[in-house]
């Protein structure tokens, strides 16, 4: 007789895993957890007051799940995922199904799909966004795979995901590693918007000399309108947090070196491989890297001096953030479209926007109009070509221009704001100076060029 009592297993009970397991339990799923440290497993069981079963014996955990089994991993991306899979293999049986819910690189997911399929198991990569609160009360989930695979576990995920008018923020993002790809780009957009917010904060405080309560209030007010979003909301809260260890504001005491686990960089790397420009994301990655070189920055400041002051209106700052947010979404979604064509994902951008509307870190009131734009025209090459999007962008891009101009004049770095503006100006230039590049390439390398007025490939003797 089998003693398998559970329908779903979760491995990796860190903050996110623990929260997700409780969420699954609250929503009527029969779930079981695994944590390799016995004391931690016992602690989580105790905290749940008998509601949760958590094993620290992997074989017992696997065998407690009904066949064919569905087991989700929420462990640190990289080697840990391979280690857990290797540890589980001896206990798995044909048709058992593993879902990797961490921030794995999509190429690792491709490799694991191949490896596990060969062994007769199912494997799915799924992005999960929303942090601890999201995991506990409603994350956004981005699985990739076949519809049949989704059907095996979709009900569990739909029961826990965030909802918008009853529609769960989980759906199939496309074939193969599409789920992890979409989550990677989500994080790239997250990097862009976070850096843009930090730049506007810097312009406000260092440039315009506003105090912290002023900045916090402004973000709070902005969160009531077109900028309403998770990242603006938490920024308002972060800015008004008082330091508990000393006088002053906590954010003033935090070291100005931004860390990164890598998903933003992966987004930029793959965008470059695809030949798709995502300059807001590239600039955000570089900005974090520059922040790491604090001693170098301090030495350079001693030589060159630091930024001056400036005057900008709150409305321009609002508009700069809105335009950058709109441009960041547009870049990321264009990248997903290109990746879908290149990697055979068959991703649907309306579905991507649908699951980003709530639960995830980049959720905002702008995602519903984005969903609607792709619903109206699934082949839309860029959000910038949608009428409603264009009208909104036209209304705020002047503010972005004013902020970038003032910040650059004062010497305050605004890498994401300025990269976003340059992207906008580049896209709306029917004619760019790439003709000069082509002429130079032909001059020194005989790389040839095409003409505007004749077919064919040309080479000139330039000198």
Active site residues: 183, 190
DSSP letter at 97? E
Q: How far apart are CA 173 and CA 143, in angstroms?
A: 6
The footprint of ligand 6PG on this chain (CB under 6 A) covers a number of residues equal to 12
What is the DSSP code string of 63-89? HTBPSSPEEEE---SSHHHHHHHHHHG
Options 259-267, 289-297, 363-371, 375-383: segment touching ligand 6PG (CB under 6 A): 259-267
Q: CA torsion 299→305→310→315, rounded to 10°?
A: -10
Tokens of residue 6, six digits: 């559970």
Interacting positions 157-196 with ligand 6PG (CB under 6 A): 187, 190
Q: Which residues are bridge partners to 125 per DSSP?
A: 100
Note whether 212 and 251 are within 8 A (CB): yes
**Taking the chain, what is the end-to-end CA distance rounded to the nearest angstrom?**
88
> Shortest gap between Cβ of 358 and ligand 6PG (angstroms)?
13
Which backbone phi and psi does 163 adopt, to 5 degrees?
A: -125, 145
Which backbone phi and psi does 123 adopt, to 5 degrees?
A: -145, 135
The H or E element containing residue 382 is none
- Which CB sits closer to ligand 6PG, 162 or 208? 162
- Which CB sits closer to ligand 6PG, 62 or 99? 99
DSSP letter at 456? S
> Shortest gap between Cβ of 381 and ligand 6PG (angstroms)?
27
Options 30-38, 143-151, 258-266, 269-277: segment touching ligand 6PG (CB under 6 A): 258-266
- Is residue 260 a contact residue for ligand 6PG (CB under 6 A)? yes
- Is residue 360 a contact residue for ligand 6PG (CB under 6 A)? yes
> Shortest gap between Cβ of 17 and ligand 6PG (angstroms)?
13
Tokens of residue 424, six digits: 């906008």
> Shortest gap between Cβ of 103 and ligand 6PG (angstroms)?
5
Which residue's C-beta sits nearest to ligand 6PG? 129
Which backbone phi and psi does 237 adopt, to 5 degrees?
A: -70, -45
- Is residue 361 a contact residue for ligand 6PG (CB under 6 A)? yes
- Is residue 263 a contact residue for ligand 6PG (CB under 6 A)? yes
The label of the residue with tokens 């999960």 reads 128
- Which CB sits closer to ligand 6PG, 190 or 319? 190
Give every CB contact of residue 277 below 8 A, 6+ residues apart in sequence: 271, 331, 423, 426
- Which CB sits closer to ligand 6PG, 360 or 397? 360
- Which CB sits closer to ligand 6PG, 41 or 232? 232
Interface pattern 122-141 for ligand 6PG (x via CB under 6 A): -------xxx----------
- Which CB sits closer to ligand 6PG, 129 or 335? 129
Residues that bind ligand 6PG (CB under 6 A): 103, 129-131, 187, 190, 260-261, 263-264, 360-361
């Amino acid at each position: 007789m089998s003693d398998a009592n559970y329908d779903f297993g979760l491995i990796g009970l860190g903050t996110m895993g623990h929260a997700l397991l409780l969420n699954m339990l609250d929503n009527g799923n029969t779930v079981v957890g695994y944590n390799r440290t016995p004391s931690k497993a016992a602690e989580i069981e105790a905290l749940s007051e008998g509601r949760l079963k958590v094993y620290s014996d992997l074989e017992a955990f696997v065998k407690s799940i009904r066949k064919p089994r569905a087991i989700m991993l929420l462990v640190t991306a990289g080697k840990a995922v391979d280690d857990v899979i290797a540890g589980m293999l001896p206990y798995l049986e044909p048709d058992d199904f593993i879902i990797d819910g961490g921030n794995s690189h999509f190429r690792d997911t491709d490799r694991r799909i191949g490896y596990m399929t060969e062994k007769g198991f199912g494997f799915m990569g799924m992005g999960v966004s929303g942090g601890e609160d999201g995991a506990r009360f409603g994350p956004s989930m981005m699985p990739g795979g076949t519809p049949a695979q989704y059907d095996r576990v979709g009900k569990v995920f739909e029961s826990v995901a965030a909802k918008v008018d009853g529609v769960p923020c989980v759906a199939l993002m496309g074939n193969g590693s599409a789920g992890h790809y979409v989550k990677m780009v989500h994080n790239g957009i997250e990097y862009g918007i976070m850096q843009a917010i930090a730049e506007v904060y810097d312009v406000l405080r260092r440039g315009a000399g506003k105090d912290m309560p002023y900045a916090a209030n402004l973000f709070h007010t902005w969160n009531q309108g077109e900028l309403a979003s998770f990242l603006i909301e938490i920024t308002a809260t972060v800015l008004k947090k008082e330091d508990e260890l000393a006088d002053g504001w906590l954010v003033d005491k935090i070291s100005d070196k931004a860390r990164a686990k890598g998903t933003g960089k992966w987004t930029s790397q793959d965008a470059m491989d695809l030949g798709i420009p995502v300059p807001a994301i590239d600039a955000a990655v570089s900005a974090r890297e520059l922040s790491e070189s604090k001693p170098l920055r301090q030495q350079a400041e001693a030589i060159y001096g630091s930024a001056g002051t400036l005057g900008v209106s709150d409305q321009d700052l609002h508009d700069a953030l809105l335009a950058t947010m709109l441009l960041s979404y547009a870049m990321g979604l264009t990248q997903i479209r290109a990746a879908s064509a290149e990697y055979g994902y068959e991703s649907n951008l309306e579905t991507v926007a649908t699951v980003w509307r709530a639960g995830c870190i980049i959720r905002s009131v702008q995602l519903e109009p984005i969903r609607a734009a792709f619903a109206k025209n699934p082949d839309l090459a860029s959000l910038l070509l949608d009428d409603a999007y264009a009208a909104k962008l036209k209304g705020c891009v002047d503010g972005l221009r004013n902020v970038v101009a003032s910040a650059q004049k004062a010497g305050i770095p605004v890498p994401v704001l300025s990269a976003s503006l340059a992207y906008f100006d580049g896209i709306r230039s029917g004619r760019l100076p790439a003709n000069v590049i082509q002429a130079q390439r032909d001059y020194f390398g005989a790389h040839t060029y095409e003409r505007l007025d004749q077919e064919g490939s040309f080479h000139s003797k330039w000198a």
